[in-house]
Amino acid sequence: MIRWFAGHPTAANLLLILLLAAGLFAAPGLKRETFPDYRPVEVSVEVIYRGASAADVEDAVCRRLHDAIKGVDYLDELVCVAQDNLARATATMLPGGDAIRFLSDIDTEVNALTDLPARAEPPLVRELHRSDLVAAVAVSGDMSLNQLEDYALQLEERIMALPGVARVALQGLSQRQWQVEVPRAVLAQYGLSARDLAIRLRQQSIDVPLGTLETPDRDVLLRFTDQRRSLRQLADLVVVSGAAGGELTLGAIASLREVGEQPEAQVFFNGERAVLLEVSKTLRDDALTVLDEVSALVAAERRRLDGRIQLTLTQDMTSIVRERLAMLVSNGVAGLALLILVMALFFRPRLALWAVLGLPVAFAGAFFVMSVSGLSLNMITLVALLMAIGIVMDDAVVIADNIAVQAQRGVPPLRAVVDGTVQVLPGVMSSFLTTVWVFAPLSFLAGELGAVLEVLPVVLIAALFASLI
């Protein structure tokens, strides 16, 4: 084949152009992210059961979810966590299963349950790990927490409207709740305990479904709604009723206030109280593109606010990818420049040019394989490309040097190319096969480590194979 391509330069040039064109068309479509998606497929099932203790949730919800899901195909592990008012089950899929079918099977089994408690809300079934953190925006300023919260919620809506943004999580805001304080002596005066008071409040502030009323014309969903929505409504709850018709309300014996300042939920940025907006992208979108969109929005908001509120980009998860891409480009350019310079000093410049073309061809082949196989530009694939630079340059120098030696001996150019390449071919092929032998097993590692490293040999071997062609 070497002799045939040497004798038919047009075919060789067409193959070279084809490889370069394939790589050039594939490269812009490659997704850029920090790490490849190594997480197993997990499906979450959440059931809200208001007014129930953790023990009640375990017995009435978790056990039924386990019985319903345990027969699903490719189920590896099922964990259900019961807490007050909520059951959260997580099902993990075995490798090799179909994620969409796994999610659909669980959704079908859960929705088929008919013995969940009447006060339990319909189960929420969703697939986990469908987004990756890109960066966070810290919102701080010399103002109250309520003002920061109001602006953070507005900024959240603007960020969610950006293309590629899957989710925005707010940190630094604890959930608002009502605090009821009653002196122990007052409770004893009316013959109440803290438990008695809690039960009476729960019985009078409820929002539960009652079932379906079937009529000849249509079915009517019934729901009892008497949940208190404000402190004033809560204060009007009757806690003690007298035989003569007298009533004692909660507001008469208790101190009521709205609280939300949980110390563990507070966020400080540069010494100031702040709200943090964590921005995540969908798995199919490019992390650097999403970050550019967020950065542009933050810059526009800074100009609009004129210093009244400080917006700072932090937790940039894409910085590593940018640095590796810059290193890849700089190393490639430096390698090409040094190779051309050194080979031009000792060999003919034309020979140096053809040797240098091996690196773009190697990258083009790797980009094409990555595009076809759905791989992204991430920390692992960039390491593979950086390794390929050194190996390809070494092979190019060895082959070019031997061709130059043949030419210096007076061998005709065509024969010098063929003989020079054939003589070092066993060594070059041995180097290639050794690399394949060492790195190929990484594609068969199990677990999360295997899911991360399996892309390295694919990219490295693709680049080296393209350079051999």
pTM of this prediction?
A: 0.62
Instruction: For domain 2-32+320-468, give its CATH number from 3.40.50.2300, 1.10.260.40, 3.30.43.10, 1.20.1640.10.
Output: 1.20.1640.10
Beta bridge partners of 216: none
For residues 398 and 358, give the distance between their C-alpha atoms in angstroms, rounded to a whole number.
12
Q: Is the pLDDT of residue 233 over 80?
A: no
The pLDDT of residue 7 is 65
Task: Please answer whether residues 223 and 210 qualify as being in contact, where contact means their C-beta atoms are separated by less than 8 angstroms.
Answer: yes
- Enter the CATH code of domain 177-206+222-259: 3.30.2090.10
Owner of token pair 């891409």 = 325
Q: For 248-277, how does the pLDDT look when each residue is reduced to its tens digit (9 = 90+)?
A: 887 777 887 766 655 556 788 888 888 899
CATH number of 131-175+263-317: 3.30.70.1320
pLDDT in tens, 155-178: 999 999 999 888 898 888 766 677
Three-point CA angle 124, 261, 84, nearest 5°: 35
Domain boundaries, the chain: 2-32+320-468, 42-127, 131-175+263-317, 177-206+222-259
Above 70 in pLDDT, residue 347?
no
| Mean pLDDT score of the chain | 81
Tens digit of each residue's pLDDT (9 = 90 or more) over 125-150:
988 877 788 899 999 888 777 788 88
Contact (Cβ atoms closer than 8 angstroms) between residue 276 and residue 269:
yes
Residue 427's pLDDT is 81
Q: Would the CATH topology of 42-127 be identical to that of 131-175+263-317?
A: yes
Q: Across the chain, how many H-helices and E-strands are there?
A: 18, 15
Q: What is the number of other CB atoms lying within 10 angstroms of the CB of residue 416?
A: 21
Does pLDDT of 383 surpass 70?
Answer: yes
42-127 fold: Alpha-Beta Plaits (3.30.70)
Q: How far apart are CA 445 and CA 452, in angstroms?
A: 9
Q: Which residue has 């960066």 as its token pair?
A: 135
Least confident span in 249-253, 315-319, 372-376: 249-253
Contact 60, 116 (CB under 8 A): yes
